[in-house]
């Protein structure tokens, strides 16, 4: 089917007129003149004005129209979702035990109205995602048509791909919105007394099988491959394929070359199902490792998507000589079935299972008329702890996608009577396959990193650091099969994956920029969690149990990162990273400082931030009594350690004898001597004031007594700080040795003395000007005070 007909069939009637005007673009290209259909008039030359008009219409007018409508509808759907949340919020507070006057009948009426609105929102979210995909394909199709028919001087597809990567309509992540809709759906079902759909009764961890994995996919620039490998190698060993024996392990062997041969039919039904993520979509491939001439084990694998987050796989092992017979339905593993039955002395479950798998695979091939279409050849480096499959990481490099079809009977890429290309396998071709024709091969420019986490292996800090770093770029739902078909069979398909628009971009990032983006995603995720958590008031509800699982916490609403998707039931996706909840090893010297650009979130209101800022100055003056959130959490942390981790009796830093540099110890003593010097000066000042004061000069006497207390304080404070700092040095503590409380007290006292001295001096000057005789005692007091204060102040 031509793309124009596909576009017409995909139009959502309420949005008619908002799609790309593909017919107008084809008319501007004057395609009929090139095809010779317009026989009434002679073809007109393609001018600069024609070129400019087409580019303006495609890149500016049509693209801006589609992007503006997508942004407008996306915002409307969010506003409508917010309105639903506001309508259901009183019911959520009522469920959680808050006071309210809403009766049961009114609750159900509100819930029914909300369900109707949620149904409409969910439908339009699905249509908007289809709208984005079909328009994205239309822009690339129009650009390709221009480059093929009018691109002798100018090629606009690279320009268009750069423009597409700057817009949001082809990278909008609807997963956070779906996550909120899912929470409200579950909440309204509880109010209406409806049962949850099958598969949601269990908790988040129980919902997935024991052997289920959550997969994260990334692109890695060639400049960062070595750094990514070394980052992983520090924690996981390289998995060696097929070592000879455990005693004779060849660690110098090269990474294996893996070949996957994907199947599809001439209509590319399996491809279209996979791109649209249709439920029940299946795929089929042959896979082997190494050179086919070495007779490796060949596996025929069928994978069927059961639900949004689960799939089922059927696999049988074949020999090369039996592959073609099996594909035709002539080979059914009769010998192996008989052998299993003889071993069990009759019918056996293994034999029945094998028969069922063979019948399923052969019927699947026959039903869809499948044939080999695409070969993916790549070098794989696998990382895994032997015997522990909780964390599996693979890094694929040198990915080449090669046509393996026989669609063109005149020039087939593969012999229609054979199951693989002989020119590649018989000659043992290797990457970069330079002898393959240009239109038959597509070399992927980046490496592919896939991280698979099994249940129970969610909170791994070093993996989280890698996945949010500048070294990788998220590529959710990336598929070698989909990318190969989209790159090599574009004329046969009408739907393209979104990541095609990002291939022309440089995926390398600045580390600081990557960090800031991750902070923004964390804030957005906290906001989404806060909104969804409002509907979890009823204790023991299935949704609350599901949302409390590690999987849902990792996948809850990381909505600002393009290219990642959160599944409806809360499984991880492109915006989700494992939330680090505990350290593997306790640390005492690392203190994470908040970013100065951190904004208030619902879980951290702006008022608390203002309160923390107001106490920061006092906390600097009195560090032992800090009221910061970190200090409070540190004091309350106590015995909160991860399961299986106990507090060490002796820290590594405390092992061995205490070695203190002489300058450190002498500095502490020198500070103590300085404080005693200040104490002696203050005592001398107080004695001079008391002796100079007359019997009737009560102010001077009181001032002398006050300064006696200051002298005592300076002496005691100096001794206290000396002992405290000596203890911290002996204990090898990481605490700060400075303290401003003592100097602050002394300085305030000296400032007060200076003010009083100024007052006395000023009064004496006025009295002398009026002709009064100034008492000699007061003059001696002011002179002594001035001299002593400057001496003490210089020492402090």
What is the mean predicted confidence (pLDDT) over 421-429? 90
**Coil, strand or helix at 287:** strand
Query: For residues 764 and 722, is the Cβ–Cβ distance under 8 A?
Result: no
Domain segments of the chain: what residues? 3-172, 203-243+253-275+372-581, 606-654, 662-795
Lowest mean pLDDT among 91-105, 275-289, 579-593: 579-593
Tokens representing 314? 């059927």
Tell me the percentage of the chain whose pLDDT exceeds 70: 72
How far apart are alpha carbons 446 and 468 in whole angstroms? 18
pTM of the model: 0.58
Dihedral sign, CA of 46, 49, 50, 54?
Answer: positive
| Structure confidence at residue 317 (pLDDT) | 92
**What stretches of 478-547 show up as alpha helix (H) in DSSP?**
480-488, 511-533, 542-547
Query: Nearest 5 degrees, angle CA 401-CA 405-CA 407?
Result: 135
Alpha-carbon gap, residue 232 to 412, rounded angstroms: 43
Residue 684 vs residues 676, 687, 761: alpha-carbon distances, Å: 12, 5, 21
Local confidence band at 553 (pLDDT 50, 70, 90 cut-offs): very low
| Residue appearing with tokens 């507090």 | 647
Task: Please tell me the least confidently modeled range out of 119-123, 139-143, 246-250, 428-432.
Answer: 246-250
Residues linked to residue 324 through DSSP beta bridges, in sequence order: none
Alpha helices by DSSP H, 150-304:
157-165, 175-192, 204-207, 225-233, 269-275
CATH number of the domain at 203-243+253-275+372-581, out of 3.20.100, 1.10.3470, 1.10.10, 3.30.1540?
3.20.100
State the pLDDT at residue 372.
94
pLDDT in tens, 135-188: 888 888 888 888 888 877 778 888 888 888 778 777 777 777 877 888 888 888
The 3-class SS string of 136-190 reads: HHHHHHHHHHHHHHCCCCCCCHHHHHHHHHCCCCCCCCCHHHHHHHHHHHHHHHH
Residue 135 in contact with residue 17, Cβ under 8 Å?
A: no
How far is 792 from 747, CA to CA, in rounded Å? 10
Sign of CA dihedral 525, 531, 537, 542: negative
> Alpha helices of 245-296 — where are they, by DSSP H?
269-275
The answer to whether the Cα torsion of 49, 54, 59, 64 is positive or negative is positive
Question: pLDDT digit string (tens) for 464-499?
Answer: 889 888 899 988 889 999 999 999 998 888 888 888
All residues at 6 or more sequence positions from 467 whose CB lies less than 8 Å from its CB, including other chains: 216, 218, 451, 474, 577, 578
pLDDT for residue 543 is more than 50: no
Average pLDDT over residues 637-651: 63
Instruction: Look over the chain and give the mean of its residue pLDDT values, rounded to a whole number.
Output: 75
Give the model confidence (pLDDT) of 1-42 as tens digits.
588 888 888 899 999 889 999 888 888 887 666 655 555 556
Mean pLDDT of 71-89: 88
Burial 163-181 (b: 16+ CB within 10 A, else e): bbeebebbbbbbbbbbbbb
pLDDT-derived band of residue 642, with 50, 70 and 90 as boundaries? low
pLDDT in tens, 222-235: 989 999 998 898 88
pLDDT tens string 606-616: 343 334 334 44
Distance CA 275, CA 129 (A): 12
The token pair at 658 is: 């205490």
Specify the range with the lowest mean pLDDT, choosing from 266-270, 334-338, 388-392, 503-507: 503-507
> Between 195 and 371, where is the model more confident?
371
Inter-axis angle of helices 662-692 and 776-795, to 10 degrees?
Answer: 170
Residue 601 has pLDDT above 60, yes or no: no
For the stretch 490-503, what's the b/e string if a residue is b when 16 or more beta carbons lie within 10 angstroms of its beta carbon?
eeebbbbbbbbbbb
* 663 has a pLDDT exceeding 60: yes
Q: Transcribe 377-402 into DSSP letters.
A: EEEEEEEEETTEEEEEEEEEEEEEEE
The answer to whether the CB of 27 falls within 8 A of the CB of 50 is no
């Amino acid at each position: 089917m031509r793309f124009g007909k596909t576009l017409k069939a995909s139009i959502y009637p309420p949005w008619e007129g908002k799609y790309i005007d593909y017919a107008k673009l084809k008319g501007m290209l004057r395609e009929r003149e090139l095809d010779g259909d317009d026989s009434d008039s002679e073809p007109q030359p393609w001018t600069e004005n024609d070129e400019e008009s087409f580019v303006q219409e495609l890149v500016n007018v049509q693209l801006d129209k589609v992007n503006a409508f997508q942004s407008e509808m996306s915002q409307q759907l969010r506003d409508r979702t917010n309105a639903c949340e506001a309508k259901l919020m009183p019911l959520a507070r009522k469920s959680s035990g808050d006071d309210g006057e809403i009766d049961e009948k009114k609750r159900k009426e509100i819930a029914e109205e909300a369900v109707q609105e949620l149904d409409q929102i969910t439908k339009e979210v699905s249509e908007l995602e289809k709208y984005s995909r079909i328009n994205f394909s239309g822009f690339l199709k129009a650009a390709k048509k221009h480059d093929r028919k009018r691109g002798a001087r100018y090629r606009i597809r690279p320009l268009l791909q750069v423009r597409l990567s700057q817009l949001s309509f082809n990278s909008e992540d609807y997963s956070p919105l779906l996550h909120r809709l899912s929470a409200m759906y579950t909440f309204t079902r509880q109010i209406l007394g409806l049962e949850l759909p099958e598969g949601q009764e269990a908790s988040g961890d129980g919902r997935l099988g024991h052997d289920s994995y959550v997969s994260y996919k990334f692109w890695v620039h060639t400049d960062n491959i070595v750094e990514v490998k070394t980052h992983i190698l520090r924690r996981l060993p390289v998995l060696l394929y097929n070592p000879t024996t455990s005693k004779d392990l060849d660690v110098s062997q090269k990474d294996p070359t893996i070949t996957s041969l994907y199947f599809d039919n001439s209509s590319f039904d399996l491809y279209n199902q996979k791109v649209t993520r249709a439920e029940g979509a299946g795929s089929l491939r042959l896979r082997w490792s190494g050179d086919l001439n070495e007779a490796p084990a060949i596996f025929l694998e069928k994978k069927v998507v059961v639900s949004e987050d689960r799939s089922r796989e059927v696999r049988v092992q074949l020999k090369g000589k039996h592959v073609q017979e099996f594909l035709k339905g002539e080979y059914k593993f009769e010998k192996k079935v008989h052998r299993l039955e003889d071993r069990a002395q009759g019918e056996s479950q293994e034999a029945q299972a094998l028969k069922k798998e063979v019948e399923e695979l052969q019927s699947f091939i026959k039903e869809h008329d499948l044939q080999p279409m695409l070969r993916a050849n790549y070098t794989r480096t696998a990382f895994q702890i032997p015997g522990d499959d909780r964390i599996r990481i693979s890094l694929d490099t040198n990915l080449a996608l090669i046509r393996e079809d026989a669609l063109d009977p005149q020039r087939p890429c593969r012999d229609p009577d054979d199951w693989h290309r002989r020119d590649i396998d018989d000659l043992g071709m290797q990457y970069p396959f330079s002898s393959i024709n240009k239109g038959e091969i597509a070399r992927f420019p980046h490496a592919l990193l896939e991280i698979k986490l099994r249940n129970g292996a969610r909170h791994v800090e070093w993996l989280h650091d890698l996945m949010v770093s500048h070294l990788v770029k998220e590529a959710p739902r990336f598929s070698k099969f989909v990318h190969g078909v989209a790159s090599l069979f574009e004329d046969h398909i009408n739907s393209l994956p979104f990541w095609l628009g990002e291939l022309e971009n440089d995926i390398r990032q600045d580390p600081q920029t990557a960090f800031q983006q991750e902070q923004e995603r964390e804030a957005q995720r906290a906001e989404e969690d806060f909104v969804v958590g409002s509907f979890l008031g009823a204790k023991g509800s299935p949704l609350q149990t599901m949302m409390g699982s590690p999987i849902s916490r990792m996948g809850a609403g990381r909505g600002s990162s393009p290219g990642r998707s959160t599944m409806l039931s809360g499984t991880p996706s492109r915006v989700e990273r494992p939330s680090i909840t505990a350290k593997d090893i306790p640390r005492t010297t690392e203190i994470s400082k908040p970013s100065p650009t951190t904004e208030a979130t619902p879980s951290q209101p702006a008022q608390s931030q203002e309160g923390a800022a107001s106490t920061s100055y006092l906390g600097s003056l009195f560090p032992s009594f800090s009221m910061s959130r970190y200090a409070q959490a540190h004091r309350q942390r106590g015995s909160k350690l991860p399961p299986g981790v106990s507090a060490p009796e002796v820290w590594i830093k405390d092992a061995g004898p205490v070695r203190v540099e002489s300058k450190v110890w002498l500095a502490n003593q020198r500070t103590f001597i300085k404080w005693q010097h200040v104490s002696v000066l203050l005592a001398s000042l107080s004695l001079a004031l008391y002796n100079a004061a007359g019997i009737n000069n009560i102010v001077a006497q009181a001032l002398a007594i006050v300064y006696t207390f200051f002298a005592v304080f300076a002496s005691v404070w100096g001794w206290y700080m000396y002992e405290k700092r000596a203890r911290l040095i002996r204990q090898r503590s990481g605490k700060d040795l400075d303290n401003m409380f003592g100097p602050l007290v002394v300085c305030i006292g000296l400032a007060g003395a200076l003010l009083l001295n100024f007052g006395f001096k000023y009064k004496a000057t006025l009295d002398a000007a009026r002709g009064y005789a100034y008492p000699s005692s007061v003059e001696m007091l002011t002179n002594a005070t001035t001299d002593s204060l400057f001496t003490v102040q210089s020492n402090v």
